[in-house]
Amino acid sequence: METTTLGKTGLTVSRLGVGLAQLGGISAGDAAKAGRILGSALDAGINFFDTAECYGNSEELIGKTVAHRRDEIVLATKAGHPSTGSSGRPWTGQTVRDSIDRSLVKLKTDHLDLVQLHAHDIAAPPPDEVIQAVLDAKESGKTRFLGYSGENEDAEWAVQSDLFDTLQTSFNLVDQRARYDLFDQARSRGIGIIAKRPIGNAIWGKATAADSNAQPSGSNLERLKRAQAMLEMGPIDGAPQDPVVLALGFVFAHEDVHTAIVGTGSPEHMLSNIAVVETDLPIAESVVAQLRRRFDLVGREWRAID
């Protein structure tokens, strides 16, 4: 598995990471299934695990199944608002402190490698007391590094603030805004980039399937419209037929992306993702260039979608 250094953190991370929101949908009593997912990832050399207290049973299952392999994992979680079974007001210093402490217990570890502000429901900048809470967590050794998860102007604020070591932001075939200015700003400051939704919720495949009856809504409807606009320009010479190969090949062609997190709640899906990265990549640079050109023509004003 290809690895790289996560910006100024110095952490060695696999370029394919695992987003563990879907793991949280697995019953706490089905630890064996979670163990197969996480174990197969570690066995293949995937070491970047991205979770959050609000991802259902995700943290608990990680702690139950792979805590004994803690030294192999770059463990990232998120905080910012209370989750199921907890109390408190969102975006207060106390809520963040409590969330980090609960995460340590659930994950069965004495420290986190990365705590990220899960800023999907608050505009930047977050309250000063929240910033102080994560700075205190770093100072006390509860986390080694701090990150921010957000899009567009909020992501730019996070990079320019010089408060964070990493940025998690959307980047995929139909969400390329980050490559205009954000990547350059992050690189100049040594900020590690974590790409979320690298396959864009598999929307490219739905857009290319002639017999697809999928009727997405919300953000996925917007992603579908974007994919269709890019596909209306005709076939892409040399593009792989598998839309997952195309999507991951596009993201990994950008060296500014240190790790891309793909979610799964299935052992089989995990093995399939590993096979794509190990056997089907990279894709042709001409294909990557064509995807960039199409986005530049029709999507330069598109905002990144969380």
Active site residues: 55
- Cα–Cα distance for residue pair 126/252, rounded to 1 Å: 31
- Cα–Cα distance for residue pair 270/71, rounded to 1 Å: 21
C-beta contacts of 279-286 below 8 A and 24+ residues apart = 280/240, 280/242, 280/245, 280/249, 281/245, 281/248, 281/249, 281/252, 282/249, 282/252, 282/253, 283/238, 283/239, 283/240, 283/245, 283/246, 283/249, 283/250, 283/253, 284/238, 285/253, 286/237, 286/238
16-19 and 12-14 beta bridge pairing: unpaired
Q: Which residue bears the tokens 């199409």? A: 294
